[in-house]
Amino acid sequence: MTVLIWLLILPGLLWALVRLGGLDRGPLVQLLSFTPYVAAWSLVPAAVALGTRRWSAAALAIVVVALFASFVLPRVVAGGRGPTDGVRLRVMTSNLLLGGADANVIVELVRDHDVDVLAVQEFTPDAKDALAKAGLGDLLPYASLADEPGSPGSGLYTRFPLRQAGSQRNQGGFQQAYGVIEPPGAGTLLVESAHPMAPWAPKANGDWRRDLAAEPAADPGGTPRILLGDFNSTLDHAPLRQLIATGYRDAGAATGQGLVPTWPYAEHPGIPGVTIDHVLVDRRIGVRQMSVHRIPRSDHRAIVAELIVPKA
């Protein structure tokens, strides 16, 4: 029993140390996405060690549980929402799965939630036509569109005039549409649809890491930025945490919904859900609430977030 307990504890300990040290390399990149599930498992050897009075093993098991708690619990306890005084802005992001997502459902969400800014990834010419046919242009008439066949395309639709609109292609080959808006009563804001390369295999990890490093950092002394989309990363990945540390807040973690899975919703049976879609906002921007929504024919859930942006 003593040997068994130690064999149960050690994998969790090693996992926690890798997560603590930001040692996501090789196959560990994909595995670290499932850290919340390992955190739940870490309670089992702790309970067994305590129940059988293996005190040395129990002490180490409790340390492991505490480490995982420090990683995971901040995402389920609302806090750090930021400023509460300012102008309300609702944003939404949705990965369209090669352009095949249900355009009518997306437009319905935009209408029902009074969305002001919509970011889309895997945005194809067919998806552009389908969204137009569903009436998106009547709700969000301004856009920065970089639609392409397959998965590289990106789009940004807004209720407000869009200045300095454009897109840039990252190392992984994905477009990122961007622009500048100025909602009535608010100051200028930079918005961008993010889509770093997915770490789908160890050979892709280099592009994944470079894409995250190339995402625009927050500029505390400049124009506030909203970066939203499919980051192909969870908060257990060091490169995403490093990006957030430049001066962003994650809307999911701020509202206590940082563990709500956004992928895979469909198309990949048997894979536990993970949170790889995010809304990152400059720390001068507050987060009032966030919700996650199923989109038919997409393997990602959409995120809708209500923000409080600085007044003009």
| Same structural domain, 6 and 112 | no
Say how many domains are in the chain: 2
Where among 54, 75, 96 does a domain terminate? 75
Q: Is residue 256 part of a domain?
A: yes
One domain, residues 222 and 265? yes
- Are 247 and 288 part of one and the same domain? yes
Asked if residue 102 and residue 62 are part of one domain, the reply reads no
The pLDDT tens digits of the residues spanning 115-149 come to 999 999 999 999 999 999 999 999 999 999 999 99
Whether 244 is covered by a domain: the verdict is yes
Measured between alpha carbons, how far is 254 from 141 in angstroms, rounded to an integer?
A: 30
Q: Are residues 199 and 259 in the same domain?
A: yes
Question: Which residue in 280, 169, 163 sits closest to 218, CA to CA?
Answer: 280
Which residues fall within 8 angstroms of residue 193, CB to CB, at 6 or more apart? 93, 119, 120, 121, 154, 155, 156, 176, 177, 178, 228, 229
Q: Is residue 81 part of a domain?
A: no
Residue 270: the pLDDT is 79
Q: 192 and 278 share a domain?
A: yes
Q: Are residues 53 and 146 in the same domain?
A: no
In a domain, 278, yes or no: yes
Same domain, 21 and 132: no
CA angle 204, 205, 211 (to 5 degrees): 95
Residue 211: give its domain's CATH number.
Answer: 3.60.10.10
Chosen domain end from 55, 75, 95:
75
154-158: strand order across its sheet: 142-146, 154-158, 117-121, 87-95, 302-309, 286-293
Q: For the chain, which ranges sit under pLDDT 50?
A: none
Q: Is residue 236 part of a domain?
A: yes
* pTM, entire model: 0.95
The terminus-to-terminus CA distance of the chain in angstroms comes to 65
Does one domain contain both 157 and 304?
yes
Question: Does residue 138 belong to any structural domain of this protein?
Answer: yes
Per-residue pLDDT tens digits for 248-265: 999 999 999 999 999 986
Q: Which of residues 26, 49, 75 is at a domain's end?
A: 75
How far is it between the farthest Cα atoms of the chain?
67
Has residue 80 been placed in a domain? Answer: no
Q: Which residues constitute the domain of residue 279? A: 87-309
Residue carrying structure tokens 């990834």? 121
The reply to whether 33 and 181 lie within a common domain is no
Contact 157, 134 (CB under 8 A): no
Q: Are residues 104 and 51 in the same domain?
A: no
**Residue 82 belongs to some domain of the structure:** no
Task: Report the pLDDT value the prediction gives residue 269, as an integer from 0 to 100.
Answer: 73
Specify whether 159 is located in the same domain as 191.
yes
Q: What is the reported pLDDT for 271?
A: 86
pLDDT digits (tens, 9 = 90+) for 71-109: 999 999 999 999 999 999 999 999 999 999 999 999 999
Cα-Cα-Cα-Cα torsion 102, 108, 109, 110, nearest 10 degrees, comes to 110
The one-letter amino acid at 232: N
- Predicted local distance difference test score (pLDDT) of residue 267: 62
